[in-house]
Amino acid sequence: MKKSEIELRYGCNPHQKPARVYVQDGLLPFEVLNGAPGHINMLDALNAWQLVRELRQALNLPAAASFKHVSPAGAAVGIPLSDDLRKSYFVEDMDLSPLASAYARARGADRLSSFGDWIALSDEVDVSTANLIRLEVSDGVIAPAYDPQALQILCEKKQGRFVVIQMDPAYEPEEMEIRDVFGVMLEQKRNSAVINAVIDARMLDNVVTDGAYPPSAVRDLLVAQAALKYTQSNAICLAVDGQVIGVGAGQQSRIHCTRLAASKADLWHLRRHPAVLALPFREGLSRAERNNAVDLYLRDDLTPAEEAFWEEHFDVVPARLSPQEKRDWLDRLDHVALASDAFFPFRDCIDRASQSGVRYVVQPGGALRDDVVIEACEAYDMTMSFTGVRLFHH
């Protein structure tokens, strides 16, 4: 039963009590079906729900997001996975529905960051998706509906403490939003898909370079744009094959956002290297332990203690990839889409993006050096659009 107020376990930190979530008028637009959410859970849930709702509306495909600390670690739509992605995401033996495929992709974008994530799903949660969620370390899920058997599976997770929230898919908030910061009220018009800043293909109409977008690039740019809209700024997002592969969130400079997003995209691609897919993990390792082992395997700067710890994950210690082998594999990454929540002040972001397979770019435009950025894109054979719409999120 819906309520107008729910007590939360605590605020951002355990000492911040009491805490609650409530509405001034009417009833909350969701029900807590299981567990007890906290303050950050609700921030993740409500932001992630908006992201998957917009992706569903923009692309007419089931959508999923993996949220951590009010930014997406990954987001995706329900496209079937290739065999190498299935192995990289540890789902090679699972029967995945379109919604489960979307979550496998969202979770697979950055598996280290997704540890203990909040999950958002655009469609009714089926048994296939619930069985995948059951295997991962997560805090909770928000969706518009649940198959009864799927709900039972989820309610048994974490010894019955897994938080399950059912969102009213018809709910629309008021046009204006208010925030209390240090006892001072801030009010602004909401950055809503219904009110303004709609994520759709029309955002890509103003192409400012040579070239055009193939349909796959349009899809991937919209995935990146939707993810950006709910990522703490400054932010850069890289996407390919219907999913996010790297997010650089909350950085003070755009080049640091780009370096972070691109480095995550590089790691995502390196996880698909045949040597990584063939790693001889010690029997009994959890999914999280395998994720950590892969991360350590791909790093070049391990301390002696980390080296010893890494080797414990394998019966036979595998040979490491050389820097040249990594570079050769990364050079195969191509047709990547990049979205930026604000303009590029310099060409340095384009230069870095070119090393991670970026071929398609969307950004607001409006910088003093737009001409320099356009020239950089054309030098790398990138296609770029200006939207005229900034997507800061704080």
Kindly list the catalytic residues: 68-69, 234, 394
Measured from the Cβ of residue 179, the count of other Cβ atoms closer than 10 Å reads: 10
Nearest one of 391, 384, 390, 393 to 347, comparing CA atoms: 384
Name the phi and psi angles at 245, rounded to 5: -125, -5
Handedness of CA 346, 252, 113, 290 (dihedral sign): positive
CA 12 → CA 41, 70, 214, 341, distances in Å? 9, 11, 43, 26
Q: Is 206 helix (H, G, I), strand (E, B) or coil?
A: coil
Query: Which residue type is seen at 139?
Result: D
At residue 77's C-alpha, the angle toward residues 243 and 217, to 5°, is 55
Distance from chain centroid for Cα 250: 14
- Is-contact 268 244, C-beta < 8 A? no
Rounded-to-integer distance, Cα 341 and Cα 237, Å: 9
Contacts of 164 by beta carbon, 8 Å cutoff, 6+ apart: 32, 33, 34, 35, 140, 141, 146, 151, 154, 155
CA 42 → CA 50, 152, 220, distances in Å? 12, 22, 28
CA 196 → CA 200, 227, 294, distances in Å? 11, 16, 42
Nearest one of 224, 234, 192 to 393, comparing CA atoms: 234
